[in-house]
Structure 1
């Protein structure tokens, strides 16, 4: 009987050892197995959302995936507060590139912050230029402004919500063009720092919790990415050139090679909403001058041609005859007046 219990105990121990060995083997296999590729997030960096997973909604910008690039060795990951962006540099840009970039940036400022103050418009322009230097976004101004428009998954809400169908007002467009020209000429709005995103007070997008707010300007809150991708070191990409306008964007006039934008005067001035063309004023008809009435003749001529002279005035103008002076006759003899 004792031998039977010992045999059962030995079987149980053997079974337990087998189960333990299988568990260890499975654990080792999990640790060495090749897992599907997933974005690796270092401590202090924001989680990378899926590309175009978060389109812009009213009053905000959309967000895209962080670039699948290795962070340079020794890069500073810790946040260092608000750091002003570097001035925008054109690099290799043609006159067409400059004109189109001016057009796209003006449209973004007008439709995204048309009712904001000058600082509010400068902050939006700074976000566009910050994105153009960041490797997560296109390397052109128009590419940034109209990113995702071909899939109706826009990064700026105005490009997909039908706002471009509204004819801009001349005064508002000119104001936005001046802000765009200053930004493209090297002007920097330092308070928003390296912000690449913003949203209004009326919305609360999901991505703002994974970012660092840099400033509040007007009705917008501005944010940058955490960690290395929100630092100045990550924004060193040069301007690429080759600006392209989408078909739905208001196309600028043909740029002239002798006019170098940016300058607000080079942009076409859109007509005022509801304005009707002023009809051309008809040319005045040349009237044939009527001949002037003949000038009236002198008094003596009128008297000579008139038969209405009174008898008492018929002898007016003749010399007064004096009785004591003889009148000369035709023969030369003096004629004495006999009248008394």
Structure 2
């Protein structure tokens, strides 16, 4: 009898183990199915979420999506571009760039569209170049962008600087604009963080440790131009440089911001043709062009000052040691005298102004005579 009870108990135990295994497998299948559903839903949310660069421009720039005052409606309404007090116009940190010269704060005073585009472009540069870096690394990247805006060798707009060369397959100034990085949807959390840094920079904040830096690269690469520039220091994952000579001094960063921000996104792809094999965006080419322009401006200014000292008429623009820049006229105009034939003084008088009023606005008698 005891043997029979032991056999029945073993059978029940075996049956319980099989049932337990079946329930476990069923639970595993259900959990995997649920996770796939959640992932699909999250994927739909990511696809539906507004991308950094709306197709066709910002909302108020699309036909049928705007109304009077819509630019003010769609732009940031939190006062992020509110002008700061003098106490926050620089970082106050003695830093790597202390001996490299300082730059002034750049305050965006353009139209609401200019402000919105500048904020969008600078945020993109900070996010795609330094999203995972500490605040110092992001501020340094933002300062380099604004340094370029203030330098005559680069475009005079934030978007123009950020997307310079983006029409190329390679060789753009900021690699994210041409290497496909922008195909990834940005993380809302990190985008918001980059935006805060951009807002502060566009309100006039100066990150002093990078000084007059106009170039940087990650610590993982060593570009050919690095030894030809002055190394300032390493901040976060980037090494920062400034141009040697006058191009890298604070006085060179004298361009005023005039607005006119272009489309806030990469330019359409175009074939790159290098004249004589020279890349016009090469850092060393830009430095040489700046130095040549500076020396020419100083020479022209010296000629003007000398003429003023001697009491002579200063030479007109375009007439210097390099020769007169006279356009090439068609043969019939050239036969009639070329440049002298088309001067304003030789044009026919078709004016309807009465003779007694034609000298209106001119001196009756020269002062001092």
**TM norm structure 2:** 0.45
Higher RCO (C-alpha 8 Å, min separation 6): 1
**TM norm structure 1:** 0.48
Q: Which has the larger radius of gyration?
A: 1
